[in-house]
Amino acid sequence: MSTESSNRQRILAYLAGRADRPLGPREIARELRIPQEDYREFRRLLRDMEQKGEVFRQRKGRYGLPARFEALNGRLQITRSGDGFVIPDEAGEEDVYVPGRDLATAQAGDRVVVRIDRRRPGRNPEGRIVRILDRSATQTVGTFHRRRGVGFVVPQEPPLTSEVLVPADRTGGAEDGQIVLVEIEDWGAKGPSPLGKVTRILGRPGDPDVEVLSILFGHQLPLEFPSAVEREAEKVARRGVRPEDLESREDFRDLLVYTIDPADAKDHDDAVSVHEFADGSFEVGVHIADVSFYVKHGSAIDREGAERATSVYLVDRVVPMLPEAMSNQICSLVPHEDRLVVSVLFHVDPSGEVLSDRVVRGVIRSAHKLSYEDAQSLLGGGSGNELRDSSDDAALVRSLQLLSGFARQLRAARSTAGAIDFAMPEAKVELDDDGEPIAIHRRERLEAHRVIEDLMILANETVARIGETEQIPILYRNHEPPSEDRLEGLRSLARLFGHPLPTGAVRPRDIADLVESQHGTRREYLISAVALRSMKQARYSGRNVGHFGLASEAYAHFTSPIRRYPDLHVHREIVRWLAGKPARSRAGPDELEEVARHCSERERRAEAAERDSVEVKTIRYMERHLGDEFEGTISGVTGFGLFVLLDDVLTEGLVRVSSLVDDYYVYDGDSFSLTGRRSRRRLRLGDKVRVQVVRVDPESREIDLDLLEGPLDPGQEGG
């Protein structure tokens, strides 16, 4: 252990133990007997620990552990109302509510220190931001404007809470209305606005290429791989699968193995198989690409993959975690080629009960690359497009039927345990060759989707259980129970819909029952959306705390090592265990948590970019529908208006209270409604309405609606 690491641990141990009050740097150094000649380096270490949030420095310059000052480190989320929640780094800690006035200059995604000012029974702690540890964004993309000689940028990617002022000598030649990349140079103390400089002019609004570049630059996503990483990946891919690579591997090449993925997928992480025995039992195989065999720890590919942490799936392209030579070639389980895998195998009795399971390193040769639609067609008695000339349709259909029956058993067992099946429809934007949106469809969820989902969940749970039982230092995928404060809105909505949640602690089963109670009604999406918003975000950690949404005692990500770094990390540790090597991670506990935190943060960034890429194309599509009428469901009620989710395009618009001219409307937060004073017309959450699109603003991404009719079906429960 280095001197710095040793001193870091000594400082933390001393402040946690013998220190009974905040201490100055010299007092700590004296207690730890730091030589005078090392004092300057010791002070630097303390400042570094402060910046990382390991210690807290009060205004008088004295140090202590954050918890001793009622302070926590965490990641800031900002709600639609402008208030915030700090999600603590430490698993198991409650989220801290921060009123908008106490956010200082913190932005969504920043890692901050929050000082807790108030704790009320049954509510989340309330606090204020006292320090910003890491900025989630050092740059933003937005529209450049001039007003009375002053330049400023209206941020879009990411959407900061204030405009960025740009001094006259820092505009980079930008013209009014252009989309620019601006680097934040000074965030200021408490506002009113950060200062920045224009570093790149991307173009004019409306250009499809500009839209995508805005998302990539705004979320600080890489456009290309470094040349050294590309060269290393191509060298590995050219090597191919050699005979010596198959040593000590189980050979599955005689089995009927196949992949099921989206029709346009190029990276195939997982394949499945079924082998029947004479007694009616069968073995289900979930075969996952053995990426860790090719991506060695510390290599150029590994360092780049660790930094990216995840592939990003934008509406028109993929920003991969690994270079194409790896993700689409040597690691991808393409048909008719030998591929190395780590397989999880389940021995299943004829009734669908798992008798045993095992994990092995293997080799497969995939026979088919099925799309979900192909698999669904075969399950329904058709012939998949990929198999029109195939001679083994019967064997494939039998395999799919066995997997489907097994998956239904798994699903039923998870449902009994309380796993929550959110009914969240997903929008798919169809683009033309120029990147222009031409249609928006509801993405269909087929039985084939659910089969693969169920098998992957089982494999992930199995690996997590092994990790927990064998004390293998893997990254777990944790989903903590929702906090009481976040449940407040869901409790009110559940009462309104006649299905109250129990008082006190809420179990997964309670929320699953609530969602199920609205199945088949127009409220199904709404209750799922509100329930999902009430949940904490899942995240990675080296310490297992379970997965609330799946009602699982232990869960890990194992099945997508091509596109998620945590899965690759888990593979490495599982492979070490399979080889009988000591059950220890290359990283210590602190380093493991740092990897977990980085992967969680990168995942949030990817999700935001993916969401924004759909939103920007949806807004472009809606621009062509100004004046058109849509039916929709009231998805949010506030004092300033009604949010309406449009049925056909799965996007929200706002009916402003100021546009309701037939009456004066009064907001009631308890019943989630607006009620006319004179007419007593009541507009409630979940009501069906007809609206007209009256304004679409690409810059703010706002859609304004006029209410034409509604509620269309007052008092009706059905969809």
For residue 200, pLDDT beyond 80: yes
**DSSP helix/strand/coil, 589:** helix
Determine which of 72-86, 232-246, 435-449 has the lowest per-residue pLDDT on average: 72-86
**How does pLDDT run across 415-469, given as a tens digit for each residue?**
999 999 887 778 889 999 888 999 998 888 899 999 999 999 999 999 999 999 9
Contact 63, 57 (CB under 8 A): yes
What value does the mean pLDDT take over residues 222-234? 94
Q: What does the block give as tokens for 178?
A: 């252009």
Q: Is the peptide bond before 481 cis (omega within 30 degrees of 0)?
A: no
Tell me what the mean pLDDT of segment 388-401 comes to.
78
Judged by DSSP in three states, 612 sits in helix
Residue 165: strand, helix, or coil: strand
Mean pLDDT estimate for the chain: 89
Count of beta carbons in the 10 Å neighbourhood of residue 714:
12
Q: How far apart are CA 534 and CA 244, in angstroms?
A: 52
pLDDT tens, position by position, 27-57: 999 889 899 988 988 999 998 888 888 888 8
pLDDT in tens, 313-325: 999 889 999 999 9
**Is pLDDT above 70 for 332?**
yes
Phi, psi of 450 (to 5 degrees): -70, -35
pLDDT in tens, 277-302: 999 999 999 999 999 999 999 999 99
pLDDT band at 619 (very low <50, low <70, confident <90, very high): very high
Residue identified by tokens 């064997």 is 395
pLDDT tens track for 466-516: 999 999 999 999 999 887 777 888 888 888 888 888 887 889 999 999 988
Residue 719 pLDDT: 39
Q: Residues for the chain: how many in total? A: 719
User: pLDDT higher for 149 or 64?
Assistant: 64
Structure tokens at 307: 């930094």
Query: What are 682's strand-pairing partners?
Result: 675
Residue 709 pLDDT > 80: yes
Model confidence over 92-147: pLDDT tens digits?
A: 678 899 998 888 888 888 889 999 988 887 778 899 998 888 888 888 998 999 88
Q: How far is CA 184 from CA 61, 134, 157, in A?
A: 28, 13, 13
634-685 pLDDT, tens digit per residue, is: 988 999 999 999 988 989 999 999 999 999 999 998 888 999 999 999 999 8
Which residues are within 8 A (CB) of 589 and not within 5 positions of it... i.e. 6 or more apart?
A: 473, 542
Residue 165 has pLDDT above 60, yes or no: yes
Work out the angle at residue 549's Cα, subtended by the Cα atoms of residues 544 and 553, and round it to the nearest 5 degrees.
35
CA 126 to chain centre: 25
d(C-alpha 350, C-alpha 652), whole Å: 47
Distance of CA 577 to the CA centre of its chain: 29
Q: What is the mean pLDDT of residues 354-368?
A: 97
Secondary structure element (H or E) that encloses residue 321, with its range? none
Domains of the chain, with CATH numbers? 3-66 (1.10.10.10), 70-134 (2.40.50.700), 139-218 (2.40.50.700), 227-472+561-611 (no CATH), 625-709 (2.40.50.140)
Strands (E) in 536-628, as ranges, are 539-541
pTM, entire model: 0.83
Assess whether pLDDT exceeds 60 at residue 391. Answer: no
The structure tokens listed for 395 are: 């064997």
> Could you tell me the pLDDT band of residue 717, with boundaries at 50, 70 and 90?
very low
pLDDT at position 254, please? 95
pLDDT of 16: 86
Q: What percent of the chain has pLDDT over 70?
A: 95
